[in-house]
Structure 1
């Protein structure tokens, strides 16, 4: 158990299990993007650990850029996406892979995918460490999913609770 701010979290996905699944995702990407040059768009802040570990294993020529979006306050999605730091890399005619920490409502991804397509991306795929299918509010296609999880609040491995807990090396779930 770990305490983050005023909440207690229980172990959920260990560092070893995370590492093994990330290796599998990278192997799939290496096969699917062989001979191509995808642009990986990392969604900050939450996806930084997942992106770092994943991209160390991606062996194809690629470019990496970052965007910062926010839709959470404390433990709840606000349902409103606020773009904080925009995309600096042109996406026209590029194969884009968004790297995200978690997809729950799908609102953030839906908006980001639309924006990238409007900017002329040849294709847009999503790689997410975690996906909460029960929480979806809009249909969304996720090409690379690390783990499907219940609609519970998680922290660690880049995911935070009020800005804290991102540095934990595993994923923890809010204790009930």
Structure 2
């Protein structure tokens, strides 16, 4: 889907598809340098990371394996309680392997901190994190991120895998939504 297809829903384009793909290519070169001796297992976090993992994997010039996890963080409304549940676990045994968690966006970092600790408890050689987007203003964890694509403002962003109510994941750009899309109408 192109931004022009939903122009009335978009307040601002933060990054175009071209900019996103160029940055993913740069990250791919960094990953190749870091893992030249032993390609990592890419672990995508469903659902948002599907687009990022797919495009990153195609850009890599290393033979990599991919696996997927789905986790849910519980709380009230949009606030995480820090209680995390695995909805879909890895199929692969990660014992002794180098693991690279690939995320679409890091918001508070709390769920990802839990996920990293969980994977580290399984005996991998290493667990690193790659994210295409990070919201520095929202971080509540000092989790180490090995590869970061872009810092984004504390705005409601969608596209390139990120959604609002399961919509806009297939948007090729990263955009800020107009408030009327997600804010309830005034009564």
After TM superposition, is the score higher than 0.5? yes
**Tell me, which stretches of 5 or more residues in structure 2 are unaligned?**
180-187
Structure with the largest fraction of strand? 1
Q: Aligned residues, how many?
A: 174
Matched residue, 1:138: 141
Task: Give me the whole-angstrom Cα distance separating, in 1, the residues matched to 2:72 and 2:27.
Answer: 25
Deviations 1:139-158 (A, max 9, x none): 11000001011221210110
Task: Give me the whole-angstrom Cα distance separating, in 2, the residues matched to 1:60 and 1:78.
Answer: 36
- Aligned pair in 2 of structure 1 residues 2, 139: CA closer, same or farther (>3 Å)? farther
**Deviation at residue 82 of structure 1 after TM alignment:** 3.4
Paired residues for 1:14-163 under 5 Å: 14-71=16-73, 76-80=78-82, 81-163=84-166
* Equivalent pair of 1:36/1:61 in contact (CA under 8 Å): no
What root-mean-square deviation, in Å, do the aligned CA atoms of Structure 1 and Structure 2 show?
A: 2.3
Give TM-score, length-normalised by structure 2: 0.84
**Deviation at residue 72 of structure 1 after TM alignment:** 8.5
Secondary structure in structure 2 of the residue aligned to 1:35: coil
- Tell me whether 64-73 or 143-152 shows the greater mean CA deviation: 64-73
Secondary structure in structure 2 of the residue aligned to 1:96: strand
- Aligned pair in 2 of structure 1 residues 72, 148: CA closer, same or farther (>3 Å)? farther
* Equivalent pair of 1:105/1:135 in contact (CA under 8 Å): yes
Q: Which has the larger radius of gyration?
A: 2
Task: Give me the whole-angstrom Cα distance separating, in 2, the residues matched to 1:23 and 1:170.
Answer: 16
Task: Give me the whole-angstrom Cα distance separating, in 2, the residues matched to 1:76 and 1:3.
Answer: 28
**Runs of 4 or more above 3 Å deviation:** 1-4, 6-9, 70-73, 75-82
Secondary structure in structure 1 of the residue aligned to 2:18: helix
